[in-house]
Amino acid sequence: MNVTIPMRYIRAIGLNALPEEGSWVAIKGNPYAPRGKRIPDSIKAEGVQHLDMYYAYDEECPWTMPLKQRQLIDERLANGGFKEGELEDIIEGWLDQSFILGNNGMQRTWMTVHTGSSKLIRFWCGEVATFPEELIKEMINTGLIETRTFSKIENNPVWDDATKDLIGSLMIDGLTLQAAQDELIKAGEKFQRKTGGYPNYFYRPIGMYRAQFCEEDE
């Protein structure tokens, strides 16, 4: 009987793409597909575009190993663990049998991407690139990406007077209009995370970044 390789093994040997809590990722798509075809049409139909940035979570390894082998590994981990490199050799051996390592590890794990769609959307680890929030802030400030909400896409929402004052204060501190709006949206994100939710927005390339690297038509 075979069972899936636990993510705790993948994390133990540093082959995970995401931290346990998840991370922002840019959607690169299949690097072996022709330009403009790297993301399946069925996923594009849900609004996902090349180089969009979404919050990804729930990384899993769908590949299998014998149940007896897993039980032996768990027993070893509970009684002193492995010598350096030993667990890596075991897990990489089973991944190699699934031809995963031979494909540059592109399909080693997959993850769920939080979008505005009601459908479950997943990507292989090799189809995304993780982005730290600090870099995302820099990209917003330099006009490379913009924030888009799932509920309603608009670059310059109509804010009430109190919110306009907050935006004005942030702009006095040196933020652009888009960056100031993003700070307000991100303030809402912190509240969502406490209730177990995920961000209700994503980021989309604009300007020179979109023109030079994004494979989507305008």
The band of 165, judged by pLDDT with boundaries at 50, 70 and 90, is low
The band of 190, judged by pLDDT with boundaries at 50, 70 and 90, is very low
Q: Is 171 exposed, middle or buried (0-12, 13-18, 19+ CB in 10 A)?
A: middle
Looking at residue 1, its pLDDT comes to 85
Same domain, 177 and 210: yes
Residue bearing the bigger pLDDT, 29 or 161: 29
Residue bearing the bigger pLDDT, 79 or 218: 79
Mean pLDDT of 195-205: 81
> What residues make up the domain containing 201?
133-218
CA distances from 90 to 69, 87, 101 (A): 9, 5, 13
Domain boundary among 110, 131, 152: 131
Looking at residue 13, its pLDDT comes to 92
Domain boundary among 113, 131, 149: 131
Domain boundary among 65, 99, 131: 131
Same domain, 90 and 124: yes
Mean pLDDT of 113-124: 92
Same domain, 197 and 101: no
- Global pTM? 0.79
Looking at residue 157, its pLDDT comes to 54
Q: How many domains does the chain divide into?
A: 2
